[in-house]
Every structure is written in structure tokens, then in C-alpha cells.
């Protein structure tokens, strides 16, 4: 079964073709980073217009890369929410038009559910190391840690579309905190990759930043206080302008901030794994590309099978949406042409619930 996926929840316009829910035939992504860099973050109205300008050529490119015609596509999948409403509407309305024109099913997918499914897709092997050309092995439950600029959440994944939320951020998402501290010291946007790269040159113990909520026996996250602690330390050093040219101070600040974030993410994951007696962890979302986090997981997750998707499937992409949609289809669910984008679409809804 060939599913064309469309993703436009934030600032990536993406389209992909996925076969039988696992084998990625194409995965086109148009990033808007250069557009939003001058503003230091995503501007929703500008992002929406950029989606309108890109979506036709991105979908055409995904079909061409997969070497399939639109007439060969069996269903259209689209991110319905959560996300920025103007951005979501571009993808949803375009997908609706294609599905109606081709008289094929329209499948709505919850965005975080797509990320949590991303370990199962790939061009040759998935993130668990299983060939995507082979039949999918029996499903084994795992803890899913979704970390990005917009999300920091943890869930027990019992089946491809069955989730038990365990915790979420109470304020800033971890990727958002990275972007904000990078902006504070003038590194640029997006801040996550810059802080990660600079951290490799710094001392992670140079500054004693807090590990938020590790004193609580739950799986929620909070990164706002850590961000504020970072800002206070910068002020103690004379302010952002005073330290801007000091590479050592910048590197030590970044390394210490990143170490605090990683400690929280790894320890919370350990707690969830122990509590649910599981040995499988999937780390998904844009922050899963972070090299410091990947290194820490390899070092500190002993006897745990950790799935880390390839970077192209960590950031927002349409392959994960098309992959998850395969299970929406096999569950017998689909959306009517009247379906609309929904900013607050819940992860806990059933596949049928995502369609209504």
C-alpha cells in the first residue's frame, strides 16, 4: 500500500511516500530556517505563506523521488494537529483536495503520534535495526520520549496507535529552551544545533545549573527555570555583550546547560523504564538529533534497546505521518472532506477520534 504523507504543522513543508507503513520511498522537506532566522524564531503568519508557496513543488518532488504517479497512491495522510493553525490548514486543505480529486481515503494523523511511530520507518532499516523490506515483527511496548522545539513529553506506547501519556512539559519545551538561551547570548537561530556543537568544546561542570523536577517522582518536565538560571549566570558574568567574544565562557555555558538538559531527559527515561519494567526506549523529535544526548544515551542506557531514528526522520517530516497513517487505515478509520485542522488534537484519541 502506498500512502502519500503531508506535514505542515510548523515551519517545515514536507511530503513523503511510504510503502506498507515502513519503507520510505521518498521524503522531501523544505525548511524555513533561513526565512525565520532574522526574527530569532518562527513567525506563524510568515510560516503559513511559505507553506503555500512550497507545498505543490514539495508534493510533486516526493512523488518524483518515489518514482510513482499520483494515480498509484492508495491514500493521502496529513498532520491534523497539534501545531500552528495557519500552517496546519495549508496541509489539511491541500490533502483534502487531493483525496477528493483522486477519490481515495484521507487519513488524519496526530503529530506527536507520528513522531512516536518514526522508529519504525526507514529506507532500508528502521531505528530498531529491522529491515523495512521484511514483515514487521510482533509489536513490543516501549517508552517514547518526544523532544523538540514544541514538545517535551513521555508516553508508554502499547501499540502503533495506542498511547498512555506519562508526562509533559509544564512550560518551555526543551528545544525551545535551547533556542532561547542561544538567542540570549547571540548565537543565532535555530539554537539547538549551535549549542550542541559549541558544547563539545566546553566543560559541562563549569556552571552548576539545576536539574528541574528530578526531585519529583513523576515524568513531567520543566525547562523555564533552567533557562532563567542560565540568564542569571550570564548576568553575573557581566551580561551577554560582555561575554560575546569569549569562546571559552560561551562553550562552558553551553556545555553546562546541555548537561543539565540531558541529565533530566535520561533520568526521567530511566525512571519510566524501571516503573513499567521495559527495556525499550525510543527518543524522537528534533532534539533526538542532539549529539550530546545520543552520546549520553549510548553511555548510560545499559541493557536498554534505544531507538534513535535517522536525523531526517527526527525533525518534522511527512514519512512518519504516512507510516502512522497505514495503521489508521488498517484500523478502518478515515476522515471526511469536511475535516478541519485542530490545534489541540490529543495524543490519547483513538485513530477514529483523530478523523472527526
Q: What is the CATH number of the domain that holds 302?
A: 3.30.420.40
Express each pLDDT in 238-291 by its tens digit. 999 999 889 999 999 999 999 999 999 999 999 999 999 999 999 999 999 999
Q: Pick the closest to residue 139 from 117, 164, 154, 112 (CA basis).
A: 117
Q: How far apart are CA 180 and CA 204, in angstroms?
A: 19
Is the pLDDT at 180 greater than 90, yes or no? yes
The whole domain housing 182 covers 165-307
Domain count, the chain: 2
In a domain, 157, yes or no: no
| Pair 111, 20 in one domain | yes
Mean pLDDT lowest among 235-249, 290-304, 308-322, 338-352: 338-352
| pTM score of the predicted model | 0.95
Cell 488534537 -> residue: 345
| Pair 177, 300 in one domain | yes
| Pair 220, 344 in one domain | no
| Pair 107, 94 in one domain | yes
User: What is the structure's pLDDT at 150?
Assistant: 83
In a domain, 251, yes or no: yes
| Pair 217, 279 in one domain | yes
Q: Measuring CA to CA, how many Å separate 301 from each of 13, 158, 215, 248, 304?
A: 34, 21, 21, 30, 5
| Pair 317, 184 in one domain | no
- If 0-12 CB within 10 Å is exposed, 13-18 middle and 19+ buried, where does residue 170 land? middle
| Pair 196, 274 in one domain | yes
Is the pLDDT at 349 greater than 90, yes or no? no
User: Is 94 strand, coil or helix?
Assistant: helix
Amino acid at each position: 500500500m502506498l500512502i502519500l504523507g503531508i506535514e505542515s504543522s510548523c515551519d517545515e513543508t514536507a511530503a513523503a511516500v511510504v510503502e506498507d507503513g515502513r519503507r520510505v520511498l521518498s521524503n522531501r522537506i523544505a525548511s524555513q530556517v533561513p526565512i525565520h532566522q532574522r526574527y530569532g524564531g518562527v513567525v506563524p503568519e510568515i510560516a503559513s505563506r511559505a507553506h503555500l508557496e512550497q507545498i505543490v513543488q514539495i508534493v510533486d518532488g516526493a512523488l518524483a523521488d518515489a518514482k510513482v504517479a499520483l494515480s498509484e497512491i492508495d491514500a493521502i495522510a496529513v498532520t491534523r494537529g497539534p501545531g500552528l493553525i495557519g500552517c496546519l490548514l495549508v496541509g489539511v486543505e491541500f490533502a483534502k483536495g487531493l483525496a477528493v480529486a483522486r477519490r481515495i481515503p484521507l487519513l488524519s494523523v496526530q503529530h506527536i503520534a507520528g513522531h512516536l511511530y518514526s522508529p519504525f520507518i526507514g529506507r532500508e532499516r528502521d531505528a530498531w535495526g529491522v529491515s523495512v523490506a521484511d514483515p514487521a515483527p510482533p509489536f513490543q511496548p516501549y517508552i517514547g520520549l518526544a523532544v523538540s522545539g514544541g514538545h517535551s513529553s513521555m508516553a508508554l506506547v502499547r501499540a502503533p496507535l495506542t498511547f498512555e501519556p506519562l508526562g509533559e512539559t509544564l512550560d518551555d519545551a526543551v528545544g525551545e529552551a535551547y533556542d532561547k538561551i542561544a538567542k540570549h547570548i547571540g548565537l543565532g537561530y535555530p539554537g539547538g544545533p549551535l549549542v550542541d556543537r559549541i558544547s563539545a568544546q566546553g566543560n559541562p561542570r563549569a556552571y552548576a545549573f539545576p536539574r528541574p523536577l528530578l526531585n519529583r517522582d513523576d515524568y513531567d518536565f520543566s525547562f523555564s527555570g533552567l533557562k532563567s538560571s542560565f540568564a542569571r549566570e550570564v548576568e553575573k558574568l557581566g551580561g551577554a555583550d560582555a561575554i560575546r567574544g569569549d569562546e571559552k565562557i560561551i562553550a562552558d555555558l553551553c556545555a553546562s546547560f546541555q548537561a543539565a538538559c540531558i541529565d533530566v531527559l535520561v533520568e526521567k527515561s530511566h525512571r519510566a523504564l524501571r516503573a513499567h519494567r521495559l527495556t525499550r526506549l525510543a527518543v524522537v523529535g528534533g532534539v533526538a538529533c542532539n549529539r550530546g544526548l545520543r552520546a549520553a544515551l549510548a553511555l548510560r542506557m545499559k541493557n536498554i534497546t534505544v531507538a534513535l531514528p535517522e536525523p531526517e526522520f527526527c525533525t518534522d517530516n511527512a514519512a512518519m505521518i504516512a507510516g502512522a497513517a497505514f495503521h489508521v487505515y488498517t484500523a478502518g478509520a478515515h476522515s471526511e472532506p469536511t475535516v478541519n485542522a485542530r490545534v489541540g488534537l490529543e495524543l490519547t484519541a483513538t485513530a477514529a477520534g483523530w478523523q472527526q
